[in-house]
Structure 1
């Protein structure tokens, strides 16, 4: 009988949530508080009440809800509003139901599905990561990556660190070059050198073993920097729709990238208190936790101010830029790159790359062509070494052809 009823949610009765009604009301209140629109909240409300009705007809207790029960719900066919009988429940509808079930799990009403635990790191690797965190000034993303790379090498190196030799270390790295790209292995050698230096300082392995890590050949700065022209940059910025909050945000982000040569991470890390409106400056916390105060150009400042006044969601967060849709989380680096990519597509601009660094390279290129010195560009881009800035000196190919010397032996 349960199986018959399970597929017979009729249009008049399917939206009665039964015992789940109070939880559905609390769920929708939470969604509203997070800033979701009324239309979105009503969609989640309908999905949650639909689940409650189906549970009664299928004679499934609320406490027994698990992935298998949700799969049964997804396969059932009914006449509920918004459900196409010939296709059943849509994937979007099921995602809403799963979010409601997660809400119930957070309140202990249903059993929460145990998440697969991440593989545990070796104790010494965890200590190494703490050392990086305290003394090296690198980001959590880099600390996590170094830890994973060292863990990948440990099985080949063996458990006894005091028995590691220079030959063993070289053999392990050379074996990795056959399984991964040279760029990946180069980063891996950086992590391993740091780990060996950490162990050696504590007497846990032979001192100086970090010098045994082979150097992976890679010609730095050999290619020309990727950039677009000043006119294309302005066209890209002009594609933003200022009538929408997302458009106001995107224009402010693009202007900061294009005028100051910020990295995606710099934009993500901006806080409300890092902008000094009186002095028209912005404090950027870049690599190595170094803070630099940069002048805020007029158009970029106006764009950020317009976003803060008209486009930024009312959320209790101190990050400058937030997602346009609820829940209002801070932007991620990939989101900043996607803003650039979408603007390039809207403007029909053919670019060699489509990430946030494209505008950083374009800013450096424009400054050099405008007469700025390498020292000035290095200051704005916050390079530690002038050699990195000299990379942009190769952009004027015609001028380089004029000063290039003939190859010895040419007729």
Structure 2
């Protein structure tokens, strides 16, 4: 190839005969600029050659090379592939390679067909996403979850015909929310039902009469503050924080992220949104912008948290032009990490410590419980956790057993 990558003659032939041939050099250069290892570039090139061979057999024009086509290749062709040696059939590598290919074509300003012309569902979901952003002000993770649910619902409802939202019936909604034969759990019903209600309100804004459909969405019983928050003891928190030294890869990044969770009570989404400029080393503060409450908050930066962040920046953070505080430890380095990385780091720490937990939010609960036990007023705890309402923080009083014991009344009939 032009960039010096040695490939099998068959792979070279597939690429050179493909409509993708003019963009292969830029594809490889893009990966090199992102500091991908030579073996990874080699693998991705073989994946692209496989896709090019398949596209050539189906006589797909360049304007058809879009996300829908690549998804079809991975979902329909790879499981039944009989293409000759030396094809690559790994789904994970193929998805990653095709994602880079689409980005390369976009950078090269290759025009694809207007999706809105042939996919009205795509237009519908894009409008729904704008509604959730501009009207509801929902976080990105919530929007993505609800779009995924509504896409499944609409695909099931209109699988055999044209997309016509005015033909949605109450029975369609009940069947989808409850699951086939009512197998969905109460938690699933709550999440799916919330997404359906949000979509119906969006359709109401568009002028559809949806009041009868809203009444058809099943609900589950839910009593506010009825449950007990899961918390870790102080000993368990220290055990977790000490477990990151065992990591063979990025231990200081993992420790710094965990400190942000346990010392300041940040959410996983807030950790990944931190930028270098958000830490004021002189004032000893850290700024949270565009968080769940959609406001800017400035919190004190505890000494141990600041020390952990500084150690990561000095000794482990790769050189990159990205201003995110926590960045990837593998190519492409110039991108911030995703919230899933934070969750995976904490789940693995739970396993190393033998703790039967999985949720990152437990660390936030543990901080609140610890502050309450040391006598911190409930209002200050609400401020630290950035709760809009004091009622949200009240639940932590239910795990403050020492204070509850002091006000507990004698059990009726108990001998004094």
Same fold per superposition (TM over 0.5): yes
Q: What is the TM-score when the length of structure 1 is the normalising length? A: 0.69
CA distance in 1, matches of 2:33, 2:172: 57
Q: Does 1:393 align with 2:390?
A: no
Q: Bigger CA drift: 175-184 or 266-275?
A: 175-184
Q: How far did residue 365 of structure 1 move?
A: 1.3
Which of 288, 291, 295 is the equivalent residue of 1:286? 291
Contact conserved, 2:265 with 2:385, CA < 8 A, in 1?
yes
Which residue is 1:322 aligned to?
A: 327
Distance 1:104 1:207 in 2: 42
Aligned-pair CA distance for 1:299 = 1.4
Structure 1 equivalent of residue 345 of structure 2: 339
Alignment root-mean-square deviation, CA: 5.1
Provide the C-alpha distance between the structure 2 equivalents of 1:94 and 1:184, rounded to a whole number of angstroms.
Answer: 28
Residues 361/409 of structure 1: CA separation in 2 closer, same or farther (3 Å cut): same
Q: In the alignment, which residue of structure 1 is the partner of 2:38? A: 41
Q: For structure 1, which runs of at least 5 residues remain unmatched after alignment?
A: 1-12, 53-59, 77-88, 109-113
The answer to whether residue 260 in structure 2 is matched with residue 263 in structure 1 is no
Change (3 A) 1:355 1:144: closer
**What is the CA-CA distance between 1:363 and the residue it aligns to?**
1.0
- Tell me the CA shift for residue 286 of structure 1: 2.0
1:134-173 equivalences under 5 Å are: 134-150=134-150, 152=153, 155=157, 159-160=165-166, 172-173=173-174
Correspondence 1:225 to 2:220: no
Measure how far apart 1:194 and its partner are.
3.9
Per-residue CA distance 1:298-324 (angstroms, 9 max, x = gap) = 111122122222211222212111121
Gaps of 5+ in 2: 1-6, 59-72, 107-112, 159-163
Equivalences for residues 192-211 of structure 1 within 5 A: 192-200=196-204, 203-205=207-209
Deviation at 1:138, TM superposition (A): 1.0
1:223-258, CA deviations, whole angstroms, 9 ceiling, x for partnerless residues? 321121222212222222399761111111011101
Equivalence for 1:121: 121
Contact residue 201 and residue 210 of structure 2 kept, 8 A = no
Distance 1:208 1:312 in 2: 55
- Equivalent pairs, count: 368
Distance 1:149 1:315, change over 3 A: same
Q: Secondary structure at the match of 1:121?
A: helix
What corresponds to 1:8 in structure 2? none
Show CA shifts across 1:352-397 (max 9, x none).
4223212111111111111111111111111122222111111133
The DSSP-based 3-state class of the residue aligned with 1:240 is helix
- Say whether residues 1:304 and 2:304 are aligned partners: no
**1:23-172 alignment, distance < 5 Å:** 30-36=30-36, 40-42=37-39, 44-45=41-42, 95=93, 99=97, 106=104, 120-121=120-121, 126-150=126-150, 152=153, 155=157, 159-160=165-166, 172=173
Answer whether contact 1:34 1:327 (CA < 8 A) is retained.
yes
Are the equivalent residues in 1 in contact too, given 2:285–2:299 (CA < 8 A)?
yes
TM-score (norm: length of structure 2): 0.68
Counterpart residue number, 1:276: 280
Q: CA deviation at 1:294?
A: 0.7
User: Please, which moves more after superposition, 116-125 or 376-385?
Assistant: 116-125
Deviation at 1:130, TM superposition (A): 2.0
Q: Residues 276 and 213 of structure 1: is their aligned pair in 2 closer, same or farther, counting only changes over 3 Å?
A: same
Match of 2:286, SS state, is strand
Contact 2:150 2:199 in 1 (8 A): yes
- Please list, as runs of the form range in 1=range in 2, the aligned pairs for 1:240-259 lying within 5 A after superposition: 240-241=244-245, 246-259=250-263
User: Deviations 1:254-297 (Å, cap 9, x if unpaired)?
Assistant: 11101001110010111222222222211113214222111111
User: Once the 2 structures are TM-superposed, how far is the Cα of residue 351 of structure 1 from its aligned partner?
Assistant: 2.8
Larger radius of gyration: 1
Instruction: Give 2:62's aligned residue.
Output: none
**Contact 2:27–2:100 (Cα < 8 Å) also in 1:** no
Distance 2:386 2:99 in 1: 47
Which secondary structure does the structure 2 equivalent of 1:239 belong to?
Answer: helix
Contact 1:337–1:355 (CA<8 Å) still a contact in 2?
yes
Q: Is the 8 A contact 1:321 1:330 kept in 2?
A: yes
Structure 1, residues 160-184: CA drift from partner, whole Å, max 9, x if none?
48xx9xxx75994487332533223
